[in-house]
Structure 1
Amino acid sequence: MIKSKKITVVYQGYVDPDKLGSGNSDGTDFLYNLAQTKAALPDAKIILSTWNSFEFPAQYNTAQKLGVDSLILNEDPGGLPNIRFGFDAPNNANRQITSAAAGMALVDTKYALKLRADSYLTNANLLSIYDQYLEAVQRGAPQRDSNTLTSKNKSKAKSKKATAKAKKSGKKTNKKYSPIAVANFFTIDPSIYQHMAYHVSDWLQFGRRKVLQEYWSVKPMTTKNATYFENNAHDMEATFYDDQFRTRLAVEQHIAVNYAKSRGYKVPNLYNETDETILAGHDRFLAEHFVVLDIDQLGLSFPKYDWVKNDEFAVLNCVNHEDWYRLFADYWQVRSPNQVLLQAGDERQALKRNAVSITTNQLSMNQIYPQ
């Protein structure tokens, strides 16, 4: 299993200076969050990357006093208008990009783990699960077509041809597999309620240093894109309050789309733009470049969003581990796949197909974007 000494934790985001040392377990005391994560990953390096727009109390104003290896105080890029009309809280896309990228730039270990400053790890289970999927691919899953995620039958046919060709040529059939582990909330399933492809969760991200450094090399969101629908009509059918969107792409999309585009995927130009190619590419993107884990598998505690675990809409609106495993096993043609996970994934798909009649007064997703 991956050892914690090979990991650097990049804590990024706002730290409430008034709550430091309070002992609060609700995510507001960064020192509490830090202590829990250190207990889970005792030998990991810790970087805190935040902004210079607030002052730490004197007893916590250095890295040593905070108990971290490095403290980065970034120039605060400020907030953009909220991504949805009717809400006043800022869109903090550029604050997140700035703090995450600055923290990642200092990582010199093999692996990196990005966490929000108001969350923490309770255990290191994600490391063994991550290893499990690396091994599943390394055991001999054949190289896949890089253009689309095919149906199961087509995948098997292509897999056999690729394997036969590889055996004849003596070449290895595996692609280099270096995924990013992410949370199920809010990795959106664009085929269900909110049609937002490439909306990959930014709560927690774990993977090789160089991969995460590249993922966070995205340019800031421009004011023009942040206010796109102030000057442009919602020219596609919007569902579940999607017509309240002000921004061209959601924050998570802005970041993931940049990464996907650099790898040749057809990506959405607008937050709810979908067609068959975009949807197929989105599925392949998740299978090829991510490991989507439920928050309990990750050992992630994010008190601010505890409500989401019991929210029926959010549970179906997102890609959980079982949903992802179906894509992973098909794409990589995993040998001896986990039939329990596959069956659970099939049952989830059936449930989703029958769940589109949810009424708007059941919708709690409004809680997400004002934050």
Structure 2
Amino acid sequence: MHLDNLISQSEVSIVIQGGILNSSGELDNDFIFNLDLILKNFPQSEIIVSTWKTDDVTQNKLIISYPGILFLFNEDVGSISENIDGVNVVSNVNRMLVSSLNGLRFASKKYSIKIRTDSYLYNDNILSCMSDYFLKNKFLSVENILRQEEYTVFSRHLINCNLFARNPYSHLPFLYHPGDIMVAGLTQDVLNFFDIPLAEESIFKHCRSMMNACYMRFVPEQYVWIKNLERSIHGFKFPGNFSRNAVEVERSEKMYLNNFLPLDSARLGFVWRKHKEVYFNKGWSSLYQPFDWIYLYSRYIRKQKYFRPLIWSLRFIQIMLMKIYFFIRTQLLKLPCVRKIAYRLFVKRGN
């Protein structure tokens, strides 16, 4: 039932992007499970699957089995890679960009939710989250949300599933690093987020700090956001990981505050299997939480004191312990042989 204070399913496009085949080249059963569940929970929504060309039999099977879904079978742009220190570093960022953007270009509804083919929505709770903000201009305890024009990119905030939305004060202190697993908002804003140039091998570089090291000057989440900022914010430049000072951290915080609203998977009714199966649900303390956003809003816009919840202190202790661990690990990774083995064993990007 459509209520005046609730966005209805019929006003929403759900764009599901990514691969649909398993490692054997067959239609992936998990994808079918995900698709069926989304159909069950969003029977009135426009659903678009933006994936890669496969054989005619598979394509026709999907089109016939799901007549209400629009399937886009794109040319696969492939991954990009670079050999650094004897390690082949791979990124699928361009696959993500092409499949997301092509799907969003066909979205005809006012609002869009972008997810991946290896994820699903197990209820429609996200509609309540969207309704609070887009119809009431409210986010949790914050009402009548204001924005700082000089840090604003989109016409309204994007709701951001906070998986991989890195807090720059955590043990993974990446700047300009929102999550891109799931974003929701006005369709034109979501489309603009992904409407950027494809990445080139220049995103790869061995970057180091005292506590961290990685093989990318911009990881995919950073690349997408930084390209948006370069296009929208006059004079914006960021050299890459790990360029950091107090001014840069504050700028990163204000950019996130004015353009994203972080919510966790449970509140959104969202599951990304890879987070559990590959990443083992790790990293909570490194992410922007809803209370972080409220703190930033109080600090930069309300300019009022914010009384931090107890969980903030508990997280602080965990971050301190993780920083010690990462410092020791980074020192070990200065050894080329250790770096090569560690990358092959533990790095998940490109998979």
Q: Is this contact kept in 2: 1:82–1:370, CA < 8 A?
A: no
Report the counterpart of residue 354 of structure 1 in structure 2.
320
Q: How does 1:192-341 map to 2 (within 5 A)?
A: 192-223=170-201, 225-227=202-204, 229=205, 234=207, 237=209, 239-240=211-212, 242=213, 244-245=214-215, 247-264=216-233, 266-306=236-276, 308=279, 310-311=281-282, 314-333=283-302
Establish whether residue 97 from structure 1 lines up as the match of residue 64 from structure 2: no
Partner of 2:158: 180
Per-residue deviation, residues 213-265 of structure 1 (Å, max 9, x unmatched):
11111100013x144x3xxx64x52533x1x40x3311111101112233327
In proportion to residue count, which structure has more strand?
A: 2
Q: CA deviation digits over 1:80-106, x for unaligned, max 9? A: 116976765731111111111111111
The count of aligned residue pairs is 324
The answer for the alignment partner of 2:32 in structure 1 is 31
* Amino acid across the alignment from 1:215: F
The answer to whether the 8 Å contact 1:119/1:301 transfers is yes
Shift of 1:320: 2.2
Distance 1:84 1:186, change over 3 A: farther
1:29-108 equivalences under 5 Å are 29-52=30-53, 54-55=54-55, 57-58=57-58, 60-61=60-61, 63-81=63-81, 90-108=90-108
Name the SS of the counterpart of 1:108 in structure 2: coil
Give the AA of the match of 2:34: N
Moved more, 268-277 or 40-49: 268-277
SS at match of 1:81: strand
| Superimposed CA distance per residue, residues 36-78 of structure 1 (whole angstroms, 9 cap, x where no aligned partner) | 11222221111111122x3264474453434553211212111
1:97-121 per-residue CA deviation (whole Å, 9 max, x = no partner) reads 1111111111110001111111100
Residues 103 and 145 of structure 1, relative CA distance in 2, 3 Å threshold: closer
Relative to structure 1, the CA distance from residue 257 to residue 58 in structure 2 (aligned partners, 3 Å threshold; closer, same or farther) is closer
Match runs of 1:153-192 below 5 Å: 178-192=156-170
Equivalent-residue separation in structure 2 for 1:332 and 1:3 (angstroms) = 31
Q: 1:208 to 1:331 in 2, by over 3 A?
A: farther
Contact 2:285 2:315 in 1 (8 A): no
Question: C-alpha distance in 2, partners of 1:222/1:273?
Answer: 20
Q: Secondary structure at the match of 2:285?
A: helix
Match of 1:3 among 5, 8, 23: 8
**CA spacing shift, 1:141–1:186, aligned 2, 3 Å:** closer
Question: 2:68 & 2:347 partners in 1: Cα distance?
Answer: 32
SS of 2:293's partner is helix
Give the TM-score of the pair, scaled to structure 1. Answer: 0.75
Q: Provide the rounded CA distance (Å) in 2 between the counterparts of 1:82 and 1:68.
A: 41
1:10 Cα shift?
0.8
Q: 1:354 to 1:263 in 2, by over 3 A?
A: same
Q: Given that residues 9 and 45 in structure 1 are in contact (C-alpha distance below 8 angstroms), is that contact kept between their aligned partners in structure 2?
A: yes
TM-superposed deviation, 1:30: 1.7
2:150 to 146, 167, 172: 146
Identity of aligned residues (%): 19
Contact (CA 8 Å) 1:130, 1:181: kept in 2 or not? Answer: yes
Distance 1:301 1:343, change over 3 A: same
Q: Is the 8 A contact 2:148 2:258 kept in 1?
A: no
Aligned-residue CA RMSD (Å): 3.5
Quote the Cα distance in structure 1 between the aligned partners of 2:188 and 2:61.
30
User: Are residues 59 and 219 of structure 1, via their aligned partners in 2, closer, same or farther at CA, if it must alter by over 3 Å?
Assistant: closer
Q: Distance in 2 between matches of 1:83 and 1:47?
A: 36
Residue type of the alignment partner of 1:33: N
Instruction: Note if contact 1:7-1:112 (Cα within 8 Å) is conserved in structure 2.
Output: yes
Secondary structure, in 3 states, of the residue corresponding to 2:80? coil
Provide Cα deviations, 1:141-198, integer angstroms capped at 9, x if missing partner.
45547369xxxxxxxxxxxxxxxxxxxxxxxxxx996111112211112222233211
Structure 2 unmatched ranges of 5 or more: 1-5, 334-341
Q: Find the counterpart in structure 2 of residue 151 from structure 1.
A: none
Please give the alpha-carbon distance, in whole angstroms, between the structure 2 residues aligned to 1:33 and 1:87.
34
* Segment of structure 1 superposing worse, 273-282 or 289-298: 273-282
**Aligned with 2:27 (options 14, 20, 23):** 20
